[in-house]
Structures are given as C-alpha cells and as structure tokens.
C-alpha cells in the first residue's frame, strides 16, 4: 500500500511538473501574455501615448457601451477609455495617472459609471482577471499607496499579484483560477473571523484621489452616472458618508442629476442595454450625459 501511494504521488507530481514546464516554455516562446481583459490592456496602452485629447472618459462596462472605442472617430477632443466594473475606482485612478503623465494638455475627466460601480470595492469574481492581471504590474502599481499594495498582495498573494507568469497561467486555465479564487476567499474569511483583516474603503479613498490629482493639475473632474434600469435605487446619502474630501457634495449632485433611466425590457441582462436600443439611442444618451457636465461648468 505504501509503495502504491508513493508511486501514485510520484506520477501526480511528475504530471504537474510536466504541465508546469510545458506552460513555462510556451509562455517564454510565444510571449502571449494577454489571455483576458483585452479592453483593459488596450486602455493601458492608449493611456501611455499622447494623441492630443483634452478630455478623457473613464468608466464601467455600461459607460463603455456608450463610449465604445470603436466610436472614437466621432470625437477629436475626448478619449474613450471606459473598461468595466471589475477594474474598480482604484484601477481607473491608475489609468488616470498614466494618462495625465502622457497628456499634459488634459482639461476634463469624465468618470462615467453606475453608482454601485463607482463605490464598489474588491469583486472576487472578476477583479483578479481584470484588475490584478492587466494593471497590477511594475509600471502601474507605482501609482498606488503602499497600504493599498499591501492589501492587494495580502488578498491575492504576493506571488500571484506581482509575477506575470502565474497571472498568465490562471488566465489561461479558468478551472485553476476558480480554485485559486476560492482559496483566496476562504483565507480572507478566516482572517476576518480571527479579526486579522480590516477591509479599507479603497473606492472612497481613490475617488478622492482622482478628484485631488485633477484639482492639482487644474483639470475639471466630473462624476457622472451611466444609464440605469428603471426603478434602480441607490443611497447617495451613503456615498456622501463614505467620502471624505472637499467638493464631494457637488460631485454627488452631478452624479445624481446625470442619471438616465432605461426600461428593463431594453436591457439584455438587467444591466447592459441591448444592441437595438443602443443603435437608436446611444447618441442621445451620450449627449445627455455630457450636457450635464457642460451645464455645471457654465458660469453662474
């Protein structure tokens, strides 16, 4: 029995080692690092160049429906860089910092997203794939506070947060990613149970940082809502309680006033608008969202 167990363990270990070596070789030879989150990688690339834009749109996947990069030709002034909810406000702050470094001519930033996207913290289902994998690397994590980097690496593990190969491997094999994320969840739950984990409100912190960096550079910062389902409710009072920076009241009012409601039968999943609805209404929605920010910039 002992020999059987040793032999079985040897076979399993050998198979795992072979699997790992084959994937390392493939990774090194092909340099095929982008397995997921293509829109986030594209956003990082675009934020790293200067194409002369004086405006920038950031936001979630609903905002991306309205400000799709495929519609970029319709605007010579505003860069469409909306991605998805899983990037979180922290990821959008990183994109903003990179864009400002390369585009000193920037005058206006429009953060367009559902309120729950704006104020959402770590999302275990997608955050690793769409935030840690494409954004948490040597060139981008410089924009984050040391405490934030420590929290991310504690949550997802330093090795799987900092090293590019495990990110690629987990992106290539969804089953491995599921196992890994379940382990992360279990560890976090245990740390909370033992009182060793205190989750910081990074959404509120980095929304304030977005406003602060724009103020410092004399850039107008706009907080605008992406279209919402009819009947959607959100507590802006809770948002105000969570935020702690000068000018938060004006931003919250701007976000609340910019809301556009869409009938539920025009949505494909309760959140995103159907292609047929967008074909007829996208241009009007875009103008209504942007007009709210223009109205607030007009001299009183």
Do 185 and 130 belong to one domain?
yes
The per-residue pLDDT for range 242-279, each reduced to its tens digit, is 999 999 999 999 999 999 999 999 999 999 999 999 99
Question: Dmax over Cα atoms in the chain, in whole Å?
Answer: 85
| Average pLDDT rounded to a whole number, residues 27-32 | 68
Mean pLDDT computed over every residue of the chain: 87
3-state helix, strand and coil shares in percent for the chain, rounded to the nearest 5:
65, 10, 30
**In the predicted model, is pLDDT for residue 39 greater than 70?**
yes
The per-residue pLDDT for range 47-75, each reduced to its tens digit, is 999 999 999 999 999 999 999 999 999 99
Pair of tokens at residue 244: 């702690």
**Cα pseudo-dihedral 279, 281, 283, 286, rounded to 10:** -130
- The predicted structure's pLDDT at residue 37: 87
pTM of the model: 0.89
CA distance 295 to 292: 5
Do 210 and 268 belong to one domain?
yes
Terminal alpha carbon distance of the chain: 85
Do 24 and 110 belong to one domain?
no
For residues 153 and 161, is the Cβ–Cβ distance under 8 A? Answer: yes
CA distance 42 to 80: 11
Contacts of 254 (CB under 8 A, 6+ apart): 222, 223, 224, 292, 293, 296
Query: Residue 75: is it exposed, middle or buried by C-beta count within 10 angstroms (0-12/13-18/19+)?
Result: middle
* Closest to 222 in 3D by CA, of 68, 94, 55: 55
Do 50 and 20 belong to one domain?
no
Do 140 and 276 belong to one domain?
yes
- The predicted structure's pLDDT at residue 5: 55
Do 95 and 16 belong to one domain?
no
Do 107 and 121 belong to one domain?
yes
* Parent domain of 65: 38-297
- The predicted structure's pLDDT at residue 174: 85
| Average pLDDT rounded to a whole number, residues 284-293 | 85
- The predicted structure's pLDDT at residue 31: 67
**In the predicted model, is pLDDT for residue 8 greater than 80?**
no
| Average pLDDT rounded to a whole number, residues 166-174 | 85
- The predicted structure's pLDDT at residue 23: 57
The per-residue pLDDT for range 125-143, each reduced to its tens digit, is 789 999 999 999 999 999 9
How many distinct helices (H) and strands (E) make up the chain?
A: 15, 6
Number of structural domains found in the chain: 2
Do 27 and 50 belong to one domain?
no
* Closest to 156 in 3D by CA, of 174, 130, 183, 176: 183
For residues 244 and 132, is the Cβ–Cβ distance under 8 A? Answer: no
**In the predicted model, is pLDDT for residue 300 greater than 50?**
no
The band of 237, judged by pLDDT with boundaries at 50, 70 and 90, is very high
- The predicted structure's pLDDT at residue 3: 61
Do 287 and 155 belong to one domain?
yes
Up-side HSE of residue 170: CA atoms within 13 Å toward CB? 24
Do 12 and 88 belong to one domain?
no
Do 209 and 192 belong to one domain?
yes
273 phi, psi to nearest 5 deg: -75, 150
- The predicted structure's pLDDT at residue 191: 72
- CATH number for the domain spanning 246: value is 3.40.50
The band of 233, judged by pLDDT with boundaries at 50, 70 and 90, is confident
- Angstrom CA distances, 225 to 32, 77, 116, 148, 231, stand at 36, 21, 10, 26, 15
> Tokens 């400002």 label which residue?
100
Do 271 and 136 belong to one domain?
yes
């Amino acid at each position: 029995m002992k020999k059987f167990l040793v032999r079985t363990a040897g076979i399993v270990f050998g198979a795992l080692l072979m699997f790992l070596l084959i994937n390392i070789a493939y990774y090194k030879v092909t340099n095929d690092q982008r397995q997921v989150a293509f829109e986030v990688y594209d956003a990082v690339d675009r934020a790293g160049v200067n194409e002369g834009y004086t405006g920038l749109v950031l936001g979630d996947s609903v905002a991306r429906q309205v400000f799709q990069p495929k519609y970029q030709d319709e605007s010579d002034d505003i860069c469409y860089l909306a991605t998805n909810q899983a990037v979180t406000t922290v990821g959008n702050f990183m994109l903003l910092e990179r864009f400002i470094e390369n585009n000193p001519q920037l005058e206006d930033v429009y953060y367009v997203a559902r309120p729950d996207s704006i104020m959402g913290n770590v999302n275990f289902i997608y955050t690793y794939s769409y935030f840690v994998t494409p954004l948490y690397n040597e060139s981008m994590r410089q924009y984050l506070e040391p405490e934030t980097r420590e929290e991310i690496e504690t949550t997802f593990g330093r090795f799987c947060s900092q090293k590019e190969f495990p990110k690629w491997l987990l992106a290539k094999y969804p089953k491995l990613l599921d196992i890994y994320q379940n382990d992360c969840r279990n560890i976090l739950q245990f740390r909370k149970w033992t009182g060793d984990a205190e989750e910081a409100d990074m959404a509120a912190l980095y929304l304030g940082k977005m406003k602060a960096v724009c103020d410092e550079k004399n850039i107008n910062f706009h907080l605008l809502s992406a279209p919402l389902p009819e009947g959607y409710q959100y507590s802006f009072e809770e948002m105000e309680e969570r935020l702690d920076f000068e000018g938060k009241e004006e931003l919250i009012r701007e976000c609340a006033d910019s809301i556009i409601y869409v009938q539920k039968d025009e949505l494909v999943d309760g959140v995103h608008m159907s292609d047929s609805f967008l074909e007829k209404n996208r241009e009007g929605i875009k103008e209504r969202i942007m007009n709210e920010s223009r109205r607030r910039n007009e001299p009183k």
